[in-house]
Amino acid sequence: MNALVNLLGRSVYAGPALAGFGALFFIGLVITVAGFDPIAALSALLSQSLGSVNGISEVLVRTIPLTLTGLGITVAFRARMFNVGGDGQIIFGAIAFVGCGLLFPTLTGWLLLPLAVIAGILGGAVWGGIAGILRARYNASEIIVTIMLTYVAFQGLAWAIRGPLQESSGIFPRSEAIPEAIKLGLLLDGSRLHWGLFIALGATVAVTLALRYTSFGYRLDAIGESPLAARYGGIGDRATVILSLAVSGGLAGLAGAVEIAGVHGRLHDAFAEGTGITAIAVALLARLNPIFVPLSAAMFAVLSVGVGGLQRQLGIPFPLVHIIEGIVILAFLVATRLQRDAVEG
Amino acid sequence: MAPASVTAPKPASRPVLELNGITKRFGALAANDDITLALGRGEVLGLLGENGAGKSTLMNILAGLILPDAGEILIEGRLARIAAPRDAVSLGIGMVHQHFMIVPTLSVAENIALGNRTLRPLPLDLSGVRAKIRQITDDLGLPLDPDAATARLTVGEQQRVEIVKALSRDARILILDEPTAVLTRDEASGLFDAVKALAQTGVSVILISHKLEDIFAVCDRVAVLRRGRKVHETSTKDTDADGLVLAMVGESITAPAARRNSPPGKLLLELDGVALRRGDGSTAVDGVSFDLHAGEILAVAGIEGNGQRELAEAIAGLQPPEAGRIVYDGKVHTRGTRTMELRRRGLRLVPEDRHAAGMLVDKSLRENQLLSHLHARRYNRAGWLKRRSAARDAQTVIADFDVRATSSNAVMRSLSGGNQQKMVLGRELADGLRLLIAAHPTRGLDVRTIAFIQRQLLDLRDRGIAILLISSDLGEIWQFADRILVFGGGRAHGPIGVTETTPSEIGAWMAGHA
Amino acid sequence: MLDQVFFVGLLASAFRFAAPLMFAALGETVAQRAGVLNVGLEGIMLVGAFLAVLGAWWTGSPWGGLLLAMLGGAAMAGLHAFLSITLRADQIISGIAMIVLGLGISGYGFRLTLGAMSPAPTIPAFAPLKLWGLAKLPIVGPILFGQHLLVYLALIIAVALHVFLYRTRWGLDLRAVGEMPAAADAAGISVQAARYSSVIFGGAMAAMGGAYLSTAQLSGFVENMVSGRGFIAIACVVFGRWSPIGAVAAALFFGAAEAAQVRLQTLNPDIPYQFFVMMPYLLAVIFLIFLARRSRMPAALGVPFMPPR
């Protein structure tokens, strides 16, 4: 172990490089053990996701919610708050967005779209903020609370689209379509790629600047590193904790609103399946640096889109995607740990 | 110049312990550099040196907590391999650490039974342990209840647990690491009596301390460490305080400038009947009343754990007091009083635990400059941070305070303790400071930095800043304070002018005698 | 009709629903008492559920499935232990990796094996015991004597762990490791060994909980069937104040809540059923609120230990 650490100590990049190769090795192993050819799998994955205009546009579509939610996870992580309930916040934000849109269908688009988007952000912020309040006041683990709230949100969505928000025909469990005025237009005809891409990129810039140059960003880092020093320095740790989870939820809520506005056009079951969990891997791969989140999100989007091709062409089951996410998280852990040892030793 | 210690007087009988050429490096720092020592049976050896001289490192090697890079250890003339604490225990070495290794949720007997392989695993029967505890405490005259909850014991009693623990494992070499740091004077003399009784029974004792009075009270011989090396060794009968100090420090320290006695200025802080509670709910101190004016240093003396930390937190707005009133610059502290607001108004704090509460160790110096100053408009304009101002100010502190750092981009962790404290102090001195609470500001630092910080505090006082100095170092208090407030026995005594009292009166108050 | 039949059925079901939580919470209690946090129970339970079904099908007996599940759980926990203890990496992130890995491995493995078979194979499962006809006793019969063997096993393990923690030398050492590993280390105890064994035990137990789900409570594996129980189990540990008996009591509480929720649905057909399904999750949140202040968690929980040498 010591010899390995000494070797890695020569370069700060050795740790991540080793972890990266290790990850690829284990992913290949998992594929091979199941009787598939990893090279064929890789080429199928790449051709499905990047081999056509359609594929690339699908990747970008998938990148949008992953970026927004990933940014949210990053903000919370900076304060060492683990927001595992991104999915619930996405759902709540989407419900708030659709609800607002359906409530005021006669308002003009210039007014209604921002209003509904703000409703979506607030919806997610509330859902995340609850966890923040419970953590700040009662020291309730935000990991458990956010996950529990996700299950509650799933049930809430299921009820809403079969109940008060259900479309008038009453046949399918889904909401009425949102007014045209608040739909996000397509960037590329014939694909699903929509204007939400710019919202995601804009949010990336905004979060990057906020974390580095605002006092809010500094407070997050301070709380994350040493809550005691932050307290002594006069930084209200309770307020910061609540805000970190509220902002995190708000970004996820925005992701939910954008998904409905750009892709689905209405609420239905399972429209953002697994984004919240994948976003954790996205944030970690981006090393908790918001400027890298879109790139990291794109990589996972490639994975997500490509795995569909794996299933279709080679019969490799879809849950491989989760195995890969898990391996990526582990690789991140190992890499940072080795790096830290190399620096300290 | 330190006297050479070529031929130290060897112990009378065959040494029970020999350390030959022990060396331990941490990175580039040689914590122990080729140290050779011998200890005789029934002898009490003092290990003297400043903070950071390498005393604890050496003893941790002996206790199996650290592995040496070079050198050998001989017990009763036989080579000993001490690779883990278990080995040390089986060789009869027992250590009482400075920071007690006591599990607070367990009872005294359970703590002492911990790791004892001779106990039957199932079911756990502690009656034998209890009997042994009673026997040892009776022999030594240090009473201890085996079934007491250790969390409720006083610090002195907890130390007894550690001593009994070591002895219950049939320790024949007992190491005491800075034992009197947390004891009242009465408790300390009780401890020394116990040590002498132990030595009579043939147990050898090594006493680590930086206090001369400890060494002279109980040790037969003393070895002095400085910067990792043994620089002097002698019998306590053949030396005196000055000789040891010279050996410890190796140079003369410039005494701080004499105090100017100017009349105190405006009333800044007023406490009236304040009661302070600890985290677990017990009352730390009751009935604290004093006032503090600009341009004076009020020292709060007392043994650790008597409410000093709670006092600092209450005044700084971090924790409201149990009862009473605190008034800063005319405004009463309320539940809504926020620390940042007080800082803006000039009330700042250098915390006692600088690592955990005073800095962000993994952040750069320039980023640390922002830590307690988010209220300052020069750093924070409506939420937008002016990082360049912070970087410039950090650079100024580095220059003015002679901080050894590569640049303001260096990470706090890479600085030595003394330099870290200088950065913390420098940060708090930013404009607008009117009242500074300095909690144990010189604890654990090297002599030069201590002198520097003390000079800074005096300088602040002369410029009209009010200083509340919390310290357990009576010498420091005597030299710098104008008035003294003593926390002890749950009460506050004073404040009283330094010229109107004596160290023994202060010592009595610290021990809790009215 | 809230009559005797209702309550008897409720309590009997409570044990049934509580069993997976009991196993997972008991295991996690031991691990947390040693100072290691494992939030990845959800993933380990899923892997346990899948491996139990696979093993039962392979060997023709649910006990084979149980064994395979325990091995799988121990292996996953071993990985978490390596990351948390030897590498001293962030225990929460490692746990999150376990969740995701468990989700992936169970789904991937299932679709490659049993899920690909058609018709779906029948899985040998555990049957509830009928202890010497005592199950026929009124009231106490079904509640106390008509459960699966695994439920009794969980209760026995709970008592055994209580004895272990408070009445044996190993339990004393373990508690010290979780409160102040430096003191335990100075006393000669191997902090690493204690933590490794606790975490691996916790993993095996969590997998047993998953196995119960797929081979006793239900008969077969469905993807994502654990549905958050892994997290509720962690809430049980907190609610139970890190004691084995407390964890079981908390699990029973949740089991009763889940049993009640199902019954209340049929009793109140006008209230949308989704609100009842939400109940156990909201209950977990409420637990955390009311019991956070009063409990004392092991002081060194989640903090990696590095011996100073």
Task: Give pLDDT, residue B12.
Answer: 56
Interface with chain B: mutation pick from C159, C163, C309, highest number of B CBs within 10 Å: C309
Cβ within 8 Å of residue B237, ≥6 positions away = none
In this structure, what token pair is assigned to residue A154? 């799933």
Q: Could C107 and A322 be called an inter-chain contact, meaning their C-beta atoms sit closer than 8 Å?
A: yes
Task: Give pLDDT, residue B255.
Answer: 46
Residues 216-245 of A with CB under 8 A from B: 216-219, 221-222, 225-226, 228-236
Lowest mean pLDDT across B170-179, B247-256, B485-494, C53-62: B247-256
| DSSP labels, C11-75 | HHHHHHHHHHHHHHHHHHHHHHHTT---TTHHHHHHHHHHHHHHHHHHHSSHHHHHHHHHHHHHH
Residues in C touching A334 (Cβ below 8 Å)? 83, 87, 89
Tell me how close the Cα of A212 comes to any Cα of chain B, in angstroms: 8
Q: Could A317 and C112 be called an inter-chain contact, meaning their C-beta atoms sit closer than 8 Å?
A: yes
Q: Could B360 and A232 be called an inter-chain contact, meaning their C-beta atoms sit closer than 8 Å?
A: no
Nearest by CB to B123, from C168, C184, C186: name it. C168
Residue of B nearest to A213 (CA): B385
Lowest mean pLDDT across A37-41, A93-97, B70-74, B109-113: A37-41
Residues in C touching B122 (Cβ below 8 Å)? 167-170
Query: How does pLDDT run across A197-220, given as a tens digit for each residue?
Result: 999 999 999 999 999 999 899 999
Confidence grade of residue B254 (pLDDT, cut at 50, 70, 90): very low
The answer, for C299 touching chain B at a CB cutoff of 8 Å, is yes
Q: Is A205 helix (H, G, I), strand (E, B) or coil?
A: helix
Cα distances from A270 to residues A87, A208, A258, B190, in angstroms, run: 10, 30, 15, 73
**CB neighbour burial string for A203-238, b if at least 16 within 10 angstroms, e if fewer:** bbeebbebbeebbbbbbbbbbbbbbebbbbbbbbbe
Sign of CA dihedral A138, A142, A143, A146: positive
* Percentage with pLDDT > 70 across chain A: 94
Mean pLDDT of chain B: 85
Asked whether residue A342 is domain-assigned, the answer is no
The answer, for A82 touching chain C at a CB cutoff of 8 Å, is yes
Tell me how close the Cα of B224 comes to any Cα of chain A, in angstroms: 30
The amino acid sitting at B157 is E
Q: Is A167 helix (H, G, I), strand (E, B) or coil?
A: coil
Mean pLDDT of A112-117: 91
Task: Give pLDDT, residue B346.
Answer: 92
Task: Give pLDDT, residue B22.
Answer: 92
Q: Could B316 and A232 be called an inter-chain contact, meaning their C-beta atoms sit closer than 8 Å?
A: yes
Mean pLDDT of chain A: 88
Task: Give pLDDT, residue B256.
Answer: 46
Q: State the count of interchain CB pairs (< 8 A) between B and C.
A: 81
Residues in B touching A236 (Cβ below 8 Å)? 338, 340
Best CA proximity match to B94, nearest among B147, B29, B164: B164
Confidence grade of residue A147 (pLDDT, cut at 50, 70, 90): very high
The residue to which tokens 């005594």 are assigned: B493
Separation CA C28–CA C243 (nearest Å)? 10
The answer, for C35 touching chain B at a CB cutoff of 8 Å, is no
Residue of B nearest to A210 (CA): B384
Q: Tell me how far the alpha carbon of residue B401 is from its chain's centroid.
A: 24
Residue B189 has pLDDT above 70, yes or no: yes
Asked whether residue A162 is domain-assigned, the answer is yes
Q: Could C87 and A337 be called an inter-chain contact, meaning their C-beta atoms sit closer than 8 Å?
A: yes
Best CA proximity match to A210, nearest among A237, A244, A258: A244
Confidence grade of residue B5 (pLDDT, cut at 50, 70, 90): very low
Lowest mean pLDDT across A7-11, B459-463, C113-117: A7-11
The answer, for A140 touching chain C at a CB cutoff of 8 Å, is yes
Q: Please state, as a whole number, how many other Cβ atoms lie within 10 Å of the Cβ of residue B200.
A: 9
When computed from its CA atoms, the radius of gyration of chain A, rounded to whole angstroms, is 21
Mean pLDDT of A143-163: 92
Residue B257 has pLDDT above 80, yes or no: no
Residues in A touching B338 (Cβ below 8 Å)? 234, 236
Mean pLDDT of B115-138: 86
Residue A311 has pLDDT above 60, yes or no: yes
Interface with chain C: mutation pick from A144, A318, A325, highest number of C CBs within 10 Å: A144
Confidence grade of residue B28 (pLDDT, cut at 50, 70, 90): low
Q: Could C108 and A134 be called an inter-chain contact, meaning their C-beta atoms sit closer than 8 Å?
A: no
Asked whether residue A82 is domain-assigned, the answer is yes
Asked whether residue A35 is domain-assigned, the answer is no
Total length of chain A = 345
Any idea where the domains of chain C sit in the sequence?
8-129+139-291
In this structure, what token pair is assigned to residue B145? 């209840």
Q: Which chains touch A (3 or more CB pairs under 8 A)?
A: B, C
Mean pLDDT of B191-203: 90
Q: State the count of interchain CB pairs (< 8 A) between A and C.
A: 133
Q: Could A322 and C227 be called an inter-chain contact, meaning their C-beta atoms sit closer than 8 Å?
A: no
Mean pLDDT of B277-299: 87
Task: Give pLDDT, residue B313.
Answer: 93
Angle in degrees, CA C273, C274, C276, rounded to 5? 70
Separation CA A189–CA A168 (nearest Å)? 30
Q: Which chains touch C (3 or more CB pairs under 8 A)?
A: A, B
Task: Give pLDDT, residue B3.
Answer: 43
Query: How does pLDDT run across B294-352, given as a tens digit for each residue?
Result: 999 999 988 777 889 999 999 999 988 889 999 999 899 988 888 988 998 999 999 98
Residue A345 has pLDDT above 80, yes or no: no
Candidate ranges A5-9, B447-451, C135-139; pick with highest mean pLDDT: B447-451
Asked whether residue A18 is domain-assigned, the answer is no
Tell me how close the Cα of A230 comes to any Cα of chain B, in angstroms: 7
CATH 3.40.50.10320 correct for C8-129+139-291 = no
Q: Could A215 and B380 be called an inter-chain contact, meaning their C-beta atoms sit closer than 8 Å?
A: yes
Residues 70-109 of B with CB under 8 A from C: 83-86, 89, 95, 97, 101-106
Query: How does pLDDT run across B418-457, given as a tens digit for each residue?
Result: 889 999 999 998 778 999 999 989 887 777 788 889 999 9
Task: Give pLDDT, residue B253.
Answer: 45
Task: Give pLDDT, residue B425.
Answer: 92
Lowest mean pLDDT across A129-138, B162-171, C66-75: B162-171
Domain span including residue A228: 61-290
Query: How does pLDDT run across C167-202, given as a tens digit for each residue?
Result: 999 999 999 999 999 999 988 889 999 999 999 999
Tell me how close the Cα of A201 comes to any Cα of chain B, in angstroms: 22
Residues in C touching A284 (Cβ below 8 Å)? 93
Residues in C touching B86 (Cβ below 8 Å)? 188
Task: Give pLDDT, residue B140.
Answer: 81
Query: How does pLDDT run across B227-240, given as a tens digit for each residue?
Result: 788 888 899 888 87
Confidence grade of residue B260 (pLDDT, cut at 50, 70, 90): low
Evaluate whether B64 touches B95 at the Cβ level (below 8 Å): no
Mean pLDDT of C304-309: 81
The answer, for C182 touching chain B at a CB cutoff of 8 Å, is yes
Lowest mean pLDDT across B177-191, C132-146, C223-237: C132-146
The answer, for B466 touching chain C at a CB cutoff of 8 Å, is no
Cβ within 8 Å of residue C175, ≥6 positions away = B103, B105, B106, C33, C165, C298
Task: Give pLDDT, residue A157.
Answer: 93
Q: Is B206 helix (H, G, I), strand (E, B) or coil?
A: strand
Our count of domains for chain A comes to: 1
Task: Give pLDDT, residue C143.
Answer: 74
Residue B252 has pLDDT above 60, yes or no: no
Residue C16 has pLDDT above 80, yes or no: yes
Tell me how close the Cα of A224 comes to any Cα of chain B, in angstroms: 10
- Of the two residues B133 and B279, the one the predictor is more confident about is B133
Task: Give pLDDT, residue C149.
Answer: 86
Mean pLDDT of chain C: 89
Task: Give pLDDT, residue B418.
Answer: 84
Task: Give pLDDT, residue A124.
Answer: 96
Asked whether residue A174 is domain-assigned, the answer is yes
Pairing of strands B173-177, B323-328: unpaired
* Percentage with pLDDT > 90 across chain B: 33
Interface with chain B: mutation pick from A6, A214, A218, highest number of B CBs within 10 Å: A218
Task: Give pLDDT, residue A5.
Answer: 57
Mean pLDDT of B347-362: 90
Interface with chain C: mutation pick from B97, B103, B127, highest number of C CBs within 10 Å: B103
The answer, for A46 touching chain C at a CB cutoff of 8 Å, is no
Evaluate whether B115 touches B173 at the Cβ level (below 8 Å): no
Residue of A nearest to C232 (CA): A144
* Percentage with pLDDT > 90 across chain A: 50
Task: Give pLDDT, residue A129.
Answer: 96
Residues in C touching B83 (Cβ below 8 Å)? 309
Q: Could B374 and A236 be called an inter-chain contact, meaning their C-beta atoms sit closer than 8 Å?
A: no
Interface with chain B: mutation pick from A6, A209, A232, highest number of B CBs within 10 Å: A232
